[in-house]
């Protein structure tokens, strides 16, 4: 595998040193937290080292909703950036608009089909042609815990929802915030999908969030999931509404809170704070989710632009993103694992190694599922409808879990 990496690295260096023109690349992303900014800075550095100019187009806002709004207006006005952070089924929606550049030449020259796991490669294609390049695989169903808080409260890291509530009561009694949460629709949805995976298992999750089957969306299992999700709110603090996700992570880092349900971009914050997993913080699959894996693959699409320079820049960007050097460095900072399975994990921590093992095992065991909250399982309109139903229920005092399940069905149907 290492020889393979060296060959590819050499090939990349050769491609880059031969590249005729330096180009300007304008790249839209929403990576603005400490860990995220450090990660994207590596891409900027690598592009600049090749002589290209990086024009940063960062739009703050976890989960990327604001970034998508800004991007739409740029594309509609006929002025798209060189590349944008777009993922999952949204790639298909942008493909339908006929505005994406075809990356097949660079993909074929660099063997993407062989280097990428099938689930990743498929997500990058529109009409069987590559239109996106993957940077990573994030796992969403994680729980981040502060072991010192758990110790002070005299409890163990929970592995079931019953254990979770028993531990959360003791943590609260000991004067800590059991769950650090940011009350924003995408964060509510992130916790909610994790509960659904734990309560219903992967098949149920798929039935609900991929097949959008009304029988699953309005079922006793969904009602139970909604109840558990709502109960979690009692263990969050008063400052939760509107809080950014990285500030919630900071509460776990500084020992104010015991745990956070969040994807492994949270690890980027722990890493940026210089903390060591297994010692200063613990990553554990969220209760009852075991080795099941909700995946969230970040990727960039390139837009059709006129002029040779734009094409050159896009080629440089795509080649750089897929290089083993970038995949390693970026993901060490970002908290995710490389999208390429052949990149060595030697320098990665145990959370990343567990993520990688579970990624492979869950693909084999059919418990690998796309994250609804992070735009991997449905088109954006349906995702938005689920967000609305979930957040409304979470914030209301007069909506029962039964009614919320019914409203999931009607909202999803209206959005389809």
Site for ligand BGC in 121-180 (CB under 6 A): 138
The CA-based angle 76-77-78, given to 5 degrees, is 90
Q: Is 36 in the site for ligand BGC (CB under 6 A)?
A: yes
With beta carbons less than 8 A apart as the criterion, state whether 303 and 33 touch: no
Stretch that binds ligand BGC, among 57-65, 212-220, 278-286, 310-318 (CB under 6 A): 57-65
For ligand BGC, the closer CB: 24 or 93: 93
The CA-based angle 320-321-326, given to 5 degrees, is 80
Report, in Å, the least distance between residue 141 CB and ligand BGC: 14
Distance of CA 190 to the CA centre of its chain: 10
From 235, 265, 293, 326, residue interacting with ligand BGC (rule: CB under 6 A): 265
Q: Is 30 in the site for ligand BGC (CB under 6 A)?
A: yes
From 15, 110, 191, 296, residue interacting with ligand BGC (rule: CB under 6 A): 296
Site for ligand BGC in 350-389 (CB under 6 A): 374
**The token pair that represents 282 in the structure block:** 């613990």
For ligand BGC, the closer CB: 86 or 131: 86
For ligand BGC, the closer CB: 64 or 158: 64
How deeply is 345 buried, as exposed, middle or buried, from its count of CB atoms within 10 A (0-12, 13-18, 19+)?
middle
For ligand BGC, the closer CB: 262 or 310: 262
Report, in Å, the least distance between residue 349 CB and ligand BGC: 17
Report, in Å, the least distance between residue 376 CB and ligand BGC: 9
Cβ neighbors of 163 (< 8 A, separation 6 or more) are 156, 287
Closest residue by Cα to residue 146 from 279, 52, 12: 279
With beta carbons less than 8 A apart as the criterion, state whether 141 and 293 touch: yes
Give every strand in the sheet of 368-370, ordered side by side: 138-139, 293-296, 368-370
Site for ligand BGC in 62-101 (CB under 6 A): 62-64
Per CB under 6 A, residues contacting ligand BGC are 30, 36, 62-64, 138, 265, 296, 298, 374
């Amino acid at each position: 595998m290492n020889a393979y990496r060296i060959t590819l690295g050499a090939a990349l260096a050769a491609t880059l040193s031969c590249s005729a023109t330096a180009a300007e690349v304008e790249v839209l992303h929403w990576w603005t937290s400490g860990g995220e900014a450090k990660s994207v800075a590596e891409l900027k550095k690598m592009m600049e080292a090749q002589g290209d100019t990086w024009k940063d187009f960062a739009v703050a806002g976890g989960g990327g909703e604001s970034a998508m709004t800004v991007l739409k207006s740029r594309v509609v006005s006929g002025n798209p950036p060189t590349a944008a952070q777009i993922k999952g089924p949204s790639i298909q929606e942008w493909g339908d608009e006929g505005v994406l550049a075809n990356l097949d030449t660079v993909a074929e020259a660099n063997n993407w089909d062989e280097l990428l796991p099938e689930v990743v490669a498929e997500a990058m294609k529109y009409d069987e042609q590559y239109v996106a390049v993957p940077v990573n695989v994030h796992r969403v169903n994680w729980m981040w815990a502060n072991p010192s808080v758990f110790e002070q409260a005299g409890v163990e890291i929970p592995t079931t929802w019953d254990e979770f509530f028993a531990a959360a009561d003791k943590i609260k009694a000991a004067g800590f915030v059991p769950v650090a949460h940011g009350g924003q629709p995408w964060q509510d949805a992130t916790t909610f999908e994790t509960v659904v995976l734990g309560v219903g298992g992967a098949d149920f999750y798929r039935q609900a969030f991929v097949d959008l089957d009304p029988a699953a969306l309005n079922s006793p299992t969904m009602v139970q999931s909604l109840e558990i999700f709502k109960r979690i709110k009692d263990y969050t603090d008063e400052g939760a509404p509107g809080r950014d996700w990285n500030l919630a992570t900071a509460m776990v880092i500084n020992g104010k809170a015991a745990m956070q349900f969040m994807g492994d971009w949270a690890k980027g914050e722990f890493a940026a704070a210089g903390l060591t997993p297994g010692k200063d913080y613990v990553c554990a699959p969220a209760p009852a989710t075991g080795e099941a894996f909700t995946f969230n693959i970040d990727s960039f699409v390139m837009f059709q632009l006129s002029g040779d320079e734009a094409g050159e820049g896009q080629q440089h960007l795509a080649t750089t993103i897929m290089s083993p050097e970038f995949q390693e460095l970026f993901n060490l900072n970002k908290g995710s694992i490389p999208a390429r399975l052949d990149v060595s994990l030697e320098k990665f921590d145990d959370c990343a190694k567990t993520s990688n093992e579970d990624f492979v095992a869950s693909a084999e065991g059919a418990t690998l599922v796309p994250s609804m909250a992070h735009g991997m399982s449905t088109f954006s309109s349906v995702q938005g409808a689920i967000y609305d139903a979930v957040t409304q229920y979470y914030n209301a005092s007069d909506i029962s879990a039964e009614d919320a399940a019914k409203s999931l069905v009607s909202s999803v149907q209206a959005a389809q």
